[in-house]
Chains A and B, each alone.
Chain A
Amino acid sequence: MTKTYSRFLTAFFCVFLGGLLLWHILLPDREKSETENRTLAQVPEFSWESLRDGSYTAAVEEYFADQFPLRDDWTGLKARMEQLIGKSEFNGVYLCGDTLISKVETPDMELVEKNLGYIRRLAENTEIPVYLGLIPSAAEVWRDKLPKGAESWDQTELLEKSDIDFREALAAHAGEQVFYRTDHHWTTLGAYYGYTAVMEAFGRGGEIPGPDAFEHRVYPRSDQFQGTLYSQSGVHWLYPDTIEFWAEDTGLSVTSWRNGEPEEASLYELSYLDSKDKYSAFLGGNQPLCVIKNKSLPDSGKLLLIRDSYSDALAPFLAQSFSEVHLLDLRYYRGSAARYAEENGIDSICVLYSVQNFISDRNLVLLTQ
């Protein structure tokens, strides 16, 4: 190696490392990451105590990684490299043609049994009928789309315990866009089939309006939805999803307890369509309690949904057939669900969970109070 060439390589190495450091320092720190849907670590505060127990250096590493220049582009590059060498799994998400499907890991069966037990306990504690509704994940409904031999936990056995047959309702339409391609939720179409399953379970199958009944009421929609699987996988090259709003808002009163006080709300929170988290446009996302009343149907039953986020796309449909739909989130609502149901004259309780959430949830124990 000649001296000049050695100097060139040396300079090149130093400029790469030092350059990124300089860039990191000059780049203003970001508050949060839209893509990752979380706040990013900030410069940690120094204390001798945190240095001694090792939490300070860990916080520095986290800060350094969280604020790294071009963070999202690096992950995109990694996904591209993985695709290039023949991988079809990206951070727990399978790339199946133009669709991302989340892999379901084998659950802790003890937890699953416990969760099923809590629901039985709820049914024993109250006079009101309790229905369990388990919503299969895309990996189950679209098993055929998964790469050949790709593993995902078999949900069939658990789904048989569901009182509402979402599996059949979705499987019958597996050829349609019942889940988003870049997000783990069901689409409005999927939620519509879910609605038919709920109605069937209540013996009200005859009342279901056909899809055409909604078609003339297509709300402003987004065709730029890049969901959770887009974020999780780093696969950034698929075209975005479309969000549709079918059920109409008129004649309904929506009350949200987002901040502990009842506030008037609506079925669709349009401001979310301008953010990354577009799915939260359905009912405005997470909240302890939300009540939808349909004044034109005074005697069609009052329903309490113990919700996860799948219910947000489903509730607008249910509001078309029930006098009242109450959505209660066990993460934020710490009171007794059974008492709430009795105090509000609820006719039926539905514990509605997607399988992925049900098998990992640790809040269902609250149902036993």
Chain B
Amino acid sequence: MIFSSLTFLFAYLPLTLAVYFLAPLRWRNLVLLLVSLFFYGWGEPVYITIMVLSILIDYTHGLLVEKYRADDKKARWFVGQSVVFNLLLLGFFKYWDFLAANLSLLPGVSLPLLGIPLPIGISFFTFQTMSYTIDVYRRDAPVQRNIVSFGAFVTMFPQLIAGPIVKYKTVAAALDHRVHTAEDFALGARRFCVGLAKKVLLANSIGALWEACLAAQGAGTLTIASGWMGLLAFGFQIYFDFSGYSDMAIGLGRIFGFRFNENFDYPYLSASVTEFWRRWHMSLTSWFREYLYIPLGGNRGGTVRTLRNILIVWFCTGFWHGASWNFVLWGLYFALWLILEKYVFRRALERLPTFFKHFYTLAVVFVGWGIFAMEDLGVCGRYLAACFGGAPAWSAADGYRLRSYAVTFLALILASTTLGKRGWRKLPDWARKILTPALMALGLVVCTAYLVDGSYNPFLYFRF
């Protein structure tokens, strides 16, 4: 199930809220576990087994690490087992076909493609459960002895399928004793509405422009203008899609009494690529920093070691996004810019006028989105070549696209800045009090209209 669906909004969510808040406090983790399993099983009922397996194994390993804490070797062994289990799970379900296809290119190797559907959210929950055993080992988090509470952490539906990646230590305390207040509910609901509007109204609608530009590339009618329009469209789509989803997750979490960390911090306002990665998908970058980059030695082993570590981390970051070469390339592309910024032109960049810093950052990031968006590297190469002059500058269709999306683009640009937030804070208290429910209502009504329209499927006697 996804948040931006009618079934979630108008059936699952109200029923879940009713059951959860009617249940006595001590039962609420159990309720959360059960409704989350239901949520997870909705798309692929069979995969509930993976979830249950994952809960059992990581729960046991947490206990084992705690039990053998005195014997560091044994404790490490159990941490290792848990990490290997999670990576195997992820590796098998997400990467098998990719590895098999590529290894079969070697002479004498032939591995079958299995075509297994990807269990939803597997990239997220395997990372979360890995963080648990590691945190317990590092004494960053207490061991969880209650399997229901642990299960509730692993399956928690608000962040289950698209993040943010919630580390166990962030919610450890809230899992065992949390308070539910009307204020948390209200703020959570407001945040949820903001996220829903970002996803349904902004991301989905600009996504159509990206599709059109990609189709133009296929038809050979791409121009420089539509090429860049397409990259902008995709960059906005992925930002509002993903951050909208994070907003909904954070909002829902808050309704249930959890505080998740923020996942995005206006990334398109960054003045360098380095800064962009401090503001984009923060839960993932911090996960990799904490559990990979620093354990590898971070930047403490001299330049060569640091370079190696950066490359490893960004290879993994890219590969985490999908089992395809373009994601690897995308990760390494950013590694290159980060290394350049760190070692080559940091000084020069600092001296540039602010406008150029932003321009440079956005150019790097949006070209990066091109690599991210097109799995077929041939298509990707031709598309980017068109953007950089390998096509006519402009066509009449571009004028049409620009007119059709001008208002949407304006809204996207404004929503990417802090302008709205600052303006909101300047409003007098009474105005905000009136506007909050009015805007929430407007957002919900318009989103519902778009969602119903999406399911609208007229059978036109078009065919005859």
Q: Verify if B84 is at the interface (C-beta below 8 Å from A).
A: no
Q: Verify if B182 is at the interface (C-beta below 8 Å from A).
A: yes
Chain-B contact segment, one of A127-135, A204-212, A226-234:
A226-234
Contacts of A10 in B (CB 8 A): 182, 185-186, 189
Contacts of A35 in B (CB 8 A): 458
Q: Verify if A43 is at the interface (C-beta below 8 Å from B).
A: no
Contacts of A356 in B (CB 8 A): 462
Q: Verify if B347 is at the interface (C-beta below 8 Å from A).
A: no
Contacts of B436 in A (CB 8 A): 9
> Are B400 and A231 in contact, CB atoms less than 8 angstroms apart?
no
> Are B449 and A57 in contact, CB atoms less than 8 angstroms apart?
no
Q: Verify if A237 is at the interface (C-beta below 8 Å from B).
A: no
CB distance from B36 to the nearest CB of A (A): 16
Complex alpha-carbon distance, A214 and B259, angstroms: 76
Choice from A68, A277, A285 contacting B452 with Cβ under 8 Å: A68
CB distance from B61 to the nearest CB of A (A): 30
> Are A78 and B14 in contact, CB atoms less than 8 angstroms apart?
no
Q: Verify if A89 is at the interface (C-beta below 8 Å from B).
A: yes
Contacts of A228 in B (CB 8 A): 458, 460-462
Known: A65-B6, A87-B404, A360-B463. A74 touches B453 (CB 8 A): yes
Contacts of B446 in A (CB 8 A): 77-78, 81
Known: A77-B446, A77-B449. A6 touches B183 (CB 8 A): yes
Q: Verify if B431 is at the interface (C-beta below 8 Å from A).
A: no
Contacts of A85 in B (CB 8 A): 407-408, 411
Complex alpha-carbon distance, A85 and B410, angstroms: 10
Give residues 84-107 of A contacting B (CB, 8 Å).
Answer: 85-89, 91, 106
Complex alpha-carbon distance, A65 and B193, angstroms: 20
Chain-B contact segment, one of A143-151, A160-168, A172-180, A243-251:
A143-151
Q: Verify if B343 is at the interface (C-beta below 8 Å from A).
A: no
> Are A148 and B452 in contact, CB atoms less than 8 angstroms apart?
no
Residue from A12, A54, A151, A280 with most neighbouring chain B CB atoms (10 Å): A151
Give residues 1-59 of A contacting B (CB, 8 Å).
Answer: 1, 3, 5-10, 12-14, 16-18, 20-21, 24, 35-38, 51-52, 54, 57
Choice from B45, B186, B440 contacting A52 with Cβ under 8 Å: B45
Complex alpha-carbon distance, A79 and B401, angstroms: 18
Known: A1-B186, A228-B461. A66 touches B455 (CB 8 A): yes
Choice from B404, B453, B460 contacting A86 with Cβ under 8 Å: B404
CB distance from B119 to the nearest CB of A (A): 13
> Are B6 and A9 in contact, CB atoms less than 8 angstroms apart?
no
> Are A37 and B14 in contact, CB atoms less than 8 angstroms apart?
no
| Chain B, Cβ-Cβ closest to A279 | B461
Q: Verify if B46 is at the interface (C-beta below 8 Å from A).
A: yes
> Are B13 and A17 in contact, CB atoms less than 8 angstroms apart?
yes
Residue from A17, A68, A277 with most neighbouring chain B CB atoms (10 Å): A17
Complex alpha-carbon distance, A71 and B458, angstroms: 12
| Chain A, Cβ-Cβ closest to B437 | A12
| Chain A, Cβ-Cβ closest to B403 | A86
Q: Verify if B44 is at the interface (C-beta below 8 Å from A).
A: yes
Choice from A9, A51, A184 contacting B462 with Cβ under 8 Å: A184
> Are A17 and B9 in contact, CB atoms less than 8 angstroms apart?
yes
Complex alpha-carbon distance, A54 and B448, angstroms: 25
Q: Verify if A369 is at the interface (C-beta below 8 Å from B).
A: no
Complex alpha-carbon distance, A51 and B14, angstroms: 23
Residue from B15, B437, B448, B449 with most neighbouring chain A CB atoms (10 Å): B449
| Chain B, Cβ-Cβ closest to A72 | B456
Q: Verify if A60 is at the interface (C-beta below 8 Å from B).
A: yes
Contacts of B407 in A (CB 8 A): 85-86
Choice from B186, B455, B464 contacting A286 with Cβ under 8 Å: B464
> Are A74 and B449 in contact, CB atoms less than 8 angstroms apart?
yes
Choice from B18, B181, B186 contacting A9 with Cβ under 8 Å: B186
CB distance from A90 to the nearest CB of B (A): 9
Q: Verify if B42 is at the interface (C-beta below 8 Å from A).
A: yes
CB distance from B335 to the nearest CB of A (A): 39
Contacts of B146 in A (CB 8 A): none
Q: Verify if B10 is at the interface (C-beta below 8 Å from A).
A: yes
Q: Verify if A253 is at the interface (C-beta below 8 Å from B).
A: no
Contacts of A77 in B (CB 8 A): 445-446, 449
Complex alpha-carbon distance, A232 and B459, angstroms: 9
> Are A57 and B456 in contact, CB atoms less than 8 angstroms apart?
no
Complex alpha-carbon distance, A309 and B463, angstroms: 8
Contacts of A324 in B (CB 8 A): none
Known: A148-B400, A150-B400. A71 touches B189 (CB 8 A): no
> Are A64 and B464 in contact, CB atoms less than 8 angstroms apart?
no
> Are B458 and A61 in contact, CB atoms less than 8 angstroms apart?
no
> Are A78 and B452 in contact, CB atoms less than 8 angstroms apart?
yes
> Are A232 and B458 in contact, CB atoms less than 8 angstroms apart?
yes
CB distance from A218 to the nearest CB of B (A): 25
Choice from A17, A62, A68, A149 contacting B396 with Cβ under 8 Å: A149
Choice from A16, A79, A231, A309 contacting B458 with Cβ under 8 Å: A231
Q: Verify if B5 is at the interface (C-beta below 8 Å from A).
A: yes
Known: A5-B186, A17-B14, A88-B404. A149 touches B456 (CB 8 A): no
Give residues 35-53 of B contacting A (CB, 8 Å).
Answer: 42-46
Known: A21-B14, A357-B464. A13 touches B440 (CB 8 A): yes
Choice from B13, B14, B183, B449 contacting A3 with Cβ under 8 Å: B183
Known: A8-B437, A36-B456, A329-B464. A106 touches B219 (CB 8 A): yes
Known: A6-B181, A228-B462. A64 touches B440 (CB 8 A): no
| Chain B, Cβ-Cβ closest to A286 | B464
Mask: chain B, 383-404; 1 = CB below 8 Å from A; 0 = not? 0000000000001111111011
Q: Verify if B11 is at the interface (C-beta below 8 Å from A).
A: yes
CB distance from A36 to the nearest CB of B (A): 4
CB distance from A300 to the nearest CB of B (A): 27
Q: Assuming A20-B448, A74-B452, A286-B464, what are 6 further A-B pairs, CB within 8 angstroms?
A: A77-B449, A81-B450, A86-B405, A88-B404, A150-B400, A228-B461
**Nearest 10 A-B pairs (CB), nearest first?**
A149-B400, A65-B455, A38-B459, A74-B452, A149-B396, A9-B186, A6-B182, A13-B189, A6-B186, A78-B453
Please list 20 pairs of residues, one from A and one from B, whose beta carbons are closer than 8 Å in the complex, sorted by A's number. A1-B186, A6-B182, A6-B187, A9-B186, A13-B440, A37-B459, A37-B460, A65-B452, A68-B6, A71-B456, A75-B449, A75-B452, A81-B446, A87-B404, A106-B219, A148-B399, A149-B396, A149-B400, A285-B461, A357-B463
